Amino acid sequence: MAVAKKTEANGKNDSLGTGRRKTSVARVRIRPGNGTITINSRPLDEYFDIEQDRYNVLHPLLATNKREAVDIVINVHGGGNTGQSGAIKLGIARALIRFDAMTEEVLRQENLMTRDGRMKERKKYGLRGARKGTQFSKR
């Protein structure tokens, strides 16, 4: 069960959510509005060129029919485009639950509340990478 945590920032009733994916971290702020999405002070279409990344961001909103009902302000850093869009997707889903608790069941059915825990494996000493070793030499 999600706890309804809202903040009064600048006189507005905002719902906050944090999403992570690979090395990306997204801080999402949702407020009632008309469907404006801003990522790092840029519009969604300008920030993400690839259609799949844009769909990742919009997926929680389309699943809950909240696309035109909320304004979203996102700060994201770290990683690449795919990692950032995945982090934003999780952050929006978490913030939507705080905004409207009735959306939790739909978001869980769509698998939007699960954090993707895959991270890059660390390099081990004596090897060239995480698993690749040196080439065998008979002499």
Tokens of 36: 């404006």
pLDDT at residue number 13: 82
pLDDT above 70 covers a percentage of the chain that reads 91
**Interatomic CA distance for residues 117 and 76, integer angstroms:** 18
Q: Are 24 and 83 in contact (CB under 8 A)?
A: yes
Q: Average pLDDT over the chain, rounded to whole?
A: 91
Domains and CATH numbers, the chain: 6-109 (3.30.230.10)
Determine how many CB atoms are found less than 10 A away from the CB of residue 96.
29
pLDDT band at 1 (very low <50, low <70, confident <90, very high): very low
**Chain segment 9-49, per-residue pLDDT in tens:** 555 689 999 999 999 999 999 999 999 999 999 999 999 99
**What is the model's pTM?**
0.86
**Interatomic CA distance for residues 67 and 35, integer angstroms:** 6
